[in-house]
Amino acid sequence: ATATPAHKRILLKLSGEALMGDDAFGINRATIERMVAEVVEVTGMGVEVAVVIGGGNIFRGVAGGSVGMDRATADYMGMLATVMNALALADAMNRQGVTARVMSAIDIQQVVEPYVRPKALQYLEEGKVVIFAAGTGNPFFTTDTAAALRGAEIGAELVLKATKVDGVYTADPYKDPAATRYARLTFDEAMVRNLGIMDATAFALCRDQKLPIRVFSINKPGALKRVVMGEDEGTLVYA
Ligand code: UDP
């Protein structure tokens, strides 16, 4: 029997760093191709996928890189960096046979179309991947917050936070071999244990909206598919 996905519509948050692979910055070709292949696989299962892409591989306004700069200016640079990543991601998806549309929270209409919610919903219903660029469009926010916001707006059933580690652990698994992975946690447990799932704004928004978050590794082959199938992969944070 063909198994049906556990989720109809998901919001995938990819950090800019996820595109770097083992490089020090920028976009690693093999890495982006591999990641896109994972996304293509789940769209092939009929799952509607929206992506929020970060920009940390190119520019981070919040910390580093921007020392001494006006914060808002640095943040706008960070948002523009996400647009570059979004274009690369959409290009890789289109080459792998999935139609992707980039929608930007900041107007740059010669490059990408602006974010218009009904249009995003239409694209998703048509089976297109929608890539949300430029975060929330506001300085002092992050793309994690954009993921929570857009996830809530489009009625995603789940926010998928792709990280290097395959879930949330009791301690840093790179440092502590005794660390164990939480299979599931409530928002309150995550808060009490001070587990940094997403930044505070993003976390609060998901918690208020009862929008579950699953932390998983995008570098683990097949992990995205297992998440979509509702299998025990990564860590689920729920209300
Ligand atoms: N940014 C912003 N507002 C947003 C989203 C992002 O100002 O709504 C800026 C911020 O400077 C941030 C940078 O864009 O440092 C890149 O985003 P983020 O750090 O979230 O990327 P990631 O860590 O996921 O690669």
Q: Does residue 105 have its Cβ closer than 6 Å to ligand 1?
A: no
* pLDDT of the residue at 36: 96
* 78 touches 59 (CB < 8 A): yes
Ligand 1 contacts CB of residue 135 (under 6 A) = yes
Alpha carbons 151 and 21: distance in angstroms, whole number: 26
Q: How far apart are the first and last CA of the chain?
A: 32
If you measure from the C-alpha of residue 81 to the centroid of ligand 1, how many angstroms do you get, rounded to a whole number? 8
State the average pLDDT over residues 42-46: 96
Tell me the two tokens of residue 203.
């976390």
* Mutation probe of ligand 1 site: the residue of 60, 76, 83 with most atoms within 8 A of C-beta: 60
Residues placed in the known binding site for UMP: 55, 75, 136-143
Beta strand pairing call for 213-217 and 113-114:
unpaired
Q: Is pLDDT of 56 > 80?
A: yes
Given a contact cutoff of 8 angstroms between Cβ atoms, the answer to whether 215 and 196 are in contact is no
Query: 9-238 belongs to which CATH class?
Result: alpha beta
Task: Place 1 in a pLDDT band, splitting at 50, 70 and 90.
Answer: very low
- Quote the strand ranges of the chain, DSSP E: 9-14, 48-53, 100-104, 113-114, 129-133, 158-163, 168-169, 181-182, 184-186, 213-217, 235-238
pTM of the model: 0.96
- Listed by start position, the domains of the chain span 9-238
Q: Are strands 181-182 and 113-114 parallel, antiparallel or unpaired?
A: unpaired
Joined tokens for residue 192: 């009490």
> Ligand 1: which atom is nearest the Cα of residue 146?
8
CA of 162 to the centre of ligand 1 (A): 15
Phi and psi (nearest 5°) for 69? -85, 155
Q: Is the CB of 146 under 6 A from ligand 1?
A: yes
Express each pLDDT in 105-137 by its tens digit.
999 999 999 999 999 999 999 999 999 999 999
* Residue 43 CB less than 6 A away from ligand 1: no
ipTM above 0.95, yes or no: yes
Pocket test for ligand 1, best of 19, 25, 79, 138 (most atoms within 8 A of CB): 79
Quick: pLDDT tens for 137-193: 999 999 999 999 999 999 999 999 999 889 999 998 899 999 999 999 999 999 999
